[in-house]
């Protein structure tokens, strides 16, 4: 392990276990941000998946560590603390998008350790076969769906003016994954229409990627998981005109009202992007709280419509002490 990483882990541990650290975190809350829990740890560790995916072993390791150092509470307990005062800082888990693996791989472990969580759904995807472009394009380029599908997509990308960087195929696994990560990030600037067209050029998978409403309701019935909206189509809010923003907000809110018995009064911005106009609209649509992706800790003084979170990658889940280092730094990396 690199010296720097060792120092981060050790000073983070000291912070969490010292009176100074405990005092500073008294009354504060930590909101963790996750996306997917894959069935396989080495697959989750590759750079193009690392940020959005954790593996089951890493996730279990994280849950054990969290239970040791924190009170793991439902999200609303962070904003509206109950009467029970605790010495330990509070932490809560949030998952973005509504991936099917949240039910298949994350939930059994949440249940085993009795850790509550909130899942934020991009509601157009729930119960449909509509696919997340990042996943479909990324995995097709990675070769997960065969060489033929990969070549077809490479041609479509060329036609869209976004050719895959040249030596991609010759790189070793780690470098190829890193190159893919950078390439996928560069595609974020394409229009939703182009991204849809490219996603359509990827082969159909046998299973839908997103949760269905039956899964949503049974997770909710467990009492351990609650749900909130994360856009309808996952379009980035800051790029929408007022009318389309209103449609995204009302469609996602109404889908949650129809599909769940107790949806959260908390919105979660797609990609975290928000500005004053977006925040005002979210409040107008009946949400007193909203989650961004800015890193930080909840101390009761934050803008309730742009609450900070700490992202959990496979690397962090394997080394949760890195989280205490970020807490020590006030949420900065
Ligand atoms: Zn998202």
Mean pLDDT is highest, among 15-24, 73-82, 295-304, 306-315, for: 306-315
CA of 209 to the centre of ligand 1 (A): 13
Tell whether 165 is covered by a domain: yes
206 CA → ligand 1 middle, Å: 22
Centre of ligand 1 from the C-alpha of residue 312, in Å = 14
Domain-located, residue 195: yes
Question: Measuring CA to CA, which residue among 226, 134, 221, 149 is closest to residue 180?
Answer: 134
Cα(14) to centroid(ligand 1), Å: 34
Q: Model confidence at 25, in pLDDT bands (50, 70, 90)?
A: confident
Q: What share of the chain is helix, strand, coil (3-state, %, to 5)?
A: 50, 15, 35
The Å distance, Cα 96 to ligand 1 centre, comes to 5
Please check whether residue 47 lies inside any domain of the structure.
Answer: no
In the reported structure, the alpha carbon of residue 226 is separated from the centroid of ligand 1 by a whole-number distance in angstroms of 17
4 C-alpha to ligand 1 centroid (Å): 31
Nearest Cα residue to 295 out of 313, 315, 279: 313
CB-CB neighbours of 31 under 10 Å: 22
Residue 166 lies in a domain: yes
Cα–ligand 1 centroid distance for 10 (angstroms): 32
Distance 34 CA to ligand 1 centre (A): 10
| Alpha-carbon gap, residue 141 to 137, rounded angstroms | 6
Q: Tell me what pLDDT residue 14 has.
A: 67
| 326: nearest Cα among 299, 306, 303, 296 | 296
Cα 111 to ligand 1 centre (Å) = 24
Q: Report how far apart, in Å, the C-alpha atoms of 269 and of each of 196, 229, 289 are.
A: 20, 8, 11
pLDDT at position 1 over 70: no
Tell me, yes or no, whether 137 lies in a domain. yes
Among the residue ranges 25-29, 196-200, 328-332, the one predicted with the least confidence is 328-332
Task: State in Å: Cα 166 to ligand 1 middle.
Answer: 29
pLDDT in tens, 231-265: 999 999 999 999 999 999 999 999 999 999 999 99
Q: Is 164 exposed, middle or buried (0-12, 13-18, 19+ CB in 10 A)?
A: middle
Ligand 1 centroid – CA 270 distance (Å): 5
State the total domains in the chain.
1
pLDDT score recorded for residue 83:
64
Q: What is the rounded distance in angstroms from the CA atom of residue 3 to the CA atom of residue 9?
A: 10
Q: Is the pLDDT of residue 333 over 70?
A: no
Would residue 206 count as lying in a domain? no
How far away, in angstroms, is 3 Cα from ligand 1 center? 34
Q: What distance in angstroms lies between residue 97's CA and the mean position of ligand 1's atoms? A: 5
DSSP state at residue 202 = S
Q: Residue range 83-109: average pLDDT?
A: 91
Instruction: Give the pLDDT score at 84.
Output: 67
Strand partners of residue 210: 99
Distance 26 CA to ligand 1 centre (A): 30
CA of 269 to the centre of ligand 1 (A): 8
**Ligand 1 center–CA 81 separation, angstroms:** 27
Asked if the model's pLDDT at residue 161 lies above 90, the reply is yes
* Prediction pTM value: 0.89
- Does residue 163 belong to any structural domain of this protein? yes
**Most confident of the ranges 145-159, 201-215, 274-288, 313-327:** 274-288
Q: What angle do CA 325, 329, 332 make, to 5 degrees?
A: 95
CA–centroid distance, 146 to ligand 1, in Å, is 26
Per the prediction, the chain carries an average pLDDT of: 90
For residue range 162-177, what is the model confidence (pLDDT) as tens digits? Answer: 999 888 888 889 999 9
pLDDT digits 0-9 by tens, 133-142: 998 999 999 9
Q: Is residue 25 part of a domain?
A: no
Domain range holding 185?
Answer: 133-200
């Amino acid at each position: 392990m690199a010296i720097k990483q060792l120092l981060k882990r050790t000073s983070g541990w000291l912070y969490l276990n010292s009176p100074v650290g405990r005092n500073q975190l008294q009354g504060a809350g930590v909101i963790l941000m996750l996306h997917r829990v894959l069935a396989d740890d080495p697959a989750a560790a590759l750079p193009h998946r690392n940020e959005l995916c954790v593996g089951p072993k890493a996730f279990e390791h994280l849950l054990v560590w969290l239970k040791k150092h924190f009170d793991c509470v439902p999200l609303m307990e962070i904003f509206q603390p109950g009467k029970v005062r605790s010495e330990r800082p509070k932490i809560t888990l949030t998952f973005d998008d509504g991936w099917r693996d949240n039910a298949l791989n994350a939930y059994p472990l949440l249940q085993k350790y009795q850790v509550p969580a909130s899942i934020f759904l991009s509601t157009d995807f729930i119960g449909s076969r509509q696919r997340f472009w990042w996943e479909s394009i990324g995995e097709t380029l990675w070769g997960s769906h065969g060489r033929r599908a990969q070549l077809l997509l490479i041609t479509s990308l060329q036609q869209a003016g976004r050719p895959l960087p040249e030596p991609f195929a010759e790189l070793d696994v780690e470098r190829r994954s890193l190159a893919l990560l950078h390439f996928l990030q560069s595609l974020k600037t394409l229009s939703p229409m182009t991204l849809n067209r490219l996603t359509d050029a990827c082969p159909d998978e046998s299973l839908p990627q997103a949760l269905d409403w039956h899964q949503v309701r049974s997770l909710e019935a467990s009492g351990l998981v609650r749900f909130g909206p994360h856009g309808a189509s996952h379009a980035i809010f800051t790029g929408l005109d007022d009318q389309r923003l209103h449609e995204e907000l009302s469609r996602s809110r109404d889908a949650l009202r129809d599909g769940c018995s107790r949806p959260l009064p908390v919105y979660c911005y797609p990609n975290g992007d928000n500005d004053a106009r977006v925040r005002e609209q979210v409040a107008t649509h009946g949400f007193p709280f909203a989650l961004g992706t800015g890193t930080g800790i909840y101390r009761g003084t934050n803008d309730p419509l742009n609450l900070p979170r700490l992202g959990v990658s496979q690397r962090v889940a394997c080394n949760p002490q890195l989280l205490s280092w970020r807490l020590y730094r006030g949420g900065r990396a």
